Chains A and B, each alone.
Chain A
């Protein structure tokens, strides 16, 4: 079973900053089957990115995903207060595994 390790645990940044969130897998991920979710307090998660780099319709272009193999990154440019949330990476395919999450505080 693949284990996803996200870092850092918490990011404290200012509006307009860039956030870089890391997701490292215990083994190489097939076909870049990595997704990223945003979860605000009291809400269900929201899918932002799939296939490591493809934005879901409605995801602002300030959000971008990259990576391959074992290492994946979610970058959020020009941070806005509404970006304060937990962010989870996930691998998919024949099962789903979530990382432990990164909290972004603005």
Chain B
């Protein structure tokens, strides 16, 4: 069974950066597809971007282009989401999530599938 365990809550100042980690266990990391989704307080879900470790390729939502960096370390089965130039409206719970399927046979490098497994979420609070 796939499990995703995220790093703990963060409090950041406007203009700074935050890096959230997501450690995977179960399943294969190399050919998985991992996405990051955030949810502001009382608001809906917002996709930020994703990565397929076997391609080393990232795919970002236009809104976050230039401000978000998603990466994956295959040695430690950990994905990361780094968000810079933080503003107060970046206060949200950040989730990592992954597809139950595998890109081992074939996937388009930009394949962004539905999300079967989710981390517990990481609250990032941006406040001066």
> Quick check: A96 and B118 within 8 Å, CB to CB?
no
In whole angstroms, how far apart are the Cα atoms of A93 and B120 in the complex?
Answer: 24
Chain B nearest Cβ from A48, distance in angstroms: 10
**Chain B contact residue count (CB 8 A cutoff):** 24
Among the interface residues A56, A95, A99, which one has the most CB atoms of the partner chain B within 10 A? A95
Within 8 A of B (CB), among A47-106: 47, 50, 56, 88, 90, 92-101
In whole angstroms, how far apart are the Cα atoms of A45 and B119 in the complex?
Answer: 10
> Quick check: B59 and A94 within 8 Å, CB to CB?
yes
Among the interface residues B45, B62, B108, B113, which one has the most CB atoms of the partner chain A within 10 A? B45
Within 8 Å CB of B114, what residues of A? 35, 47, 50, 90, 92
Among the interface residues A46, A94, A96, A100, which one has the most CB atoms of the partner chain B within 10 A? A96
Chain A nearest Cβ from B42, distance in angstroms: 11
> Quick check: B95 and A101 within 8 Å, CB to CB?
no
Total A-B pairs in contact (CB under 8 Å)?
A: 59
> Quick check: A95 and B112 within 8 Å, CB to CB?
yes
CB contact between A47 and one of B62, B110, B116 (< 8 Å): that residue: B116
In whole angstroms, how far apart are the Cα atoms of A15 and B50 in the complex?
Answer: 38
Is B73 close to A, CB under 8 A? no
CB contact between B116 and one of A39, A56, A96, A101 (< 8 Å): that residue: A56
In whole angstroms, how far apart are the Cα atoms of A99 and B62 in the complex?
Answer: 17
Known: A92-B113, A93-B112, A94-B108. A44 touches B118 (CB 8 A): yes
Q: A1-B62, A90-B114, A96-B47 are in contact. List 8 more A-B contacts (CB 8 A).
A: A37-B115, A44-B120, A45-B37, A88-B44, A94-B59, A95-B47, A95-B61, A100-B44
Q: What 9 A-B pairs have minimum CB-CB distances, sorted nearest first?
A: A44-B118, A96-B47, A35-B114, A98-B45, A94-B110, A50-B114, A101-B44, A100-B44, A47-B116
Chain B positions within 8 Å of A, measured between CB atoms, are: 35, 37, 44-47, 50, 59, 61-62, 95, 97, 108, 110-116, 118-121
